[in-house]
A and B are shown apart, each in its own frame.
Chain A
Amino acid sequence: MKEILVKINNPTGLHARPASILVKEAMKFKSNIYLIKNNKEYNAKSIMNVMAMGAAMGDEIRIKAEGEDEKEAINSLQKLLEDLKD
């Protein structure tokens, strides 16, 4: 199990567009991947879950992955979140 803390830096936060990009990326991995905000876990492979999390700019969320490709999954999603622009 791997876990990392990231800060949401894009102005609109994790709403529909960035959320769907993140879910598509998460789907590429076999690991179970969760995003954690305020101690509540959201499935990173469910668009509904990620949108409902409603992460806004400045929020800190944790990415947790469990599985054979957990390291790659964490690295890839961390980069994706840090690179979000809009």
Chain B
Amino acid sequence: MFGLFSKRQIEIKSPIKGKVIDLSQVPDEVFSSKMVGDGFAIDPKDNTIYSPVEGEIIQVFPTGHAIGIKTKEGLEILIHIGIDTVELKGKGFVTFVNEGDYVWIGDKLITFDLELIKNKAKSTIIPVLITNMEKVKEMNVNFIDAEEGDVIANVRLK
């Protein structure tokens, strides 16, 4: 019954304006080797993260530099702002949602101080990752200069 009506395909929109790059180009082995998850990364040209999918906020990192969303199909998506930004200990990040909130595509999630990250962290690049790839059959990524809300990844579920 559920199988008949559940969506087997999900679009992940761009959470921010910027250039979409391959994870292999992220200057941190944890992300480039896909240890944490698979997806894409964005070199941001703006300072606000909007929800790339519809779903529930399952993790708000206390330091504000990352957030996790679970879609109703069960896909878990992690947005990690910058590299080594955990060391900023929350400085420069403002979160607009709480764990348990239901968000729609385009809802404002986090704003960040792009200049501060440029100056203090290793990189401003934002990995956007599916952390439970076992649910995924196939994923196609559009490597474009994206506006916020553009379709970046088409994900087919198992």
Do A48 and B59 have beta carbons less than 8 Å apart? yes
User: Which residues of A (24-65) have their CB < 8 Å from a CB of B?
Assistant: 46-49, 51-52, 54
Q: B31 within 8 Å of A by Cβ?
A: yes
Majority DSSP secondary structure for residues of B touching A? mixed
**In the complex, what distance in Å separates the CA atom of A72 from the CA atom of B131?**
26
**In the complex, what distance in Å separates the CA atom of A47 from the CA atom of B78?**
10
Q: Find A54's partner among B28, B35, B36, B61 (CB 8 Å cutoff).
A: B61
Contact A48/B78 with A17-B30, A20-B36 known, Cβ cut-off 8 Å: yes
Q: How far is the CB of B13 from chain A (nearest CB, A)?
A: 20
Q: B71 within 8 Å of A by Cβ?
A: no
Residues of A with C-beta under 8 A to B47: none
**Those 6 A-B pairs whose CB atoms lie nearest each other, nearest first:** A52-B59, A20-B35, A16-B30, A48-B68, A17-B30, A47-B131
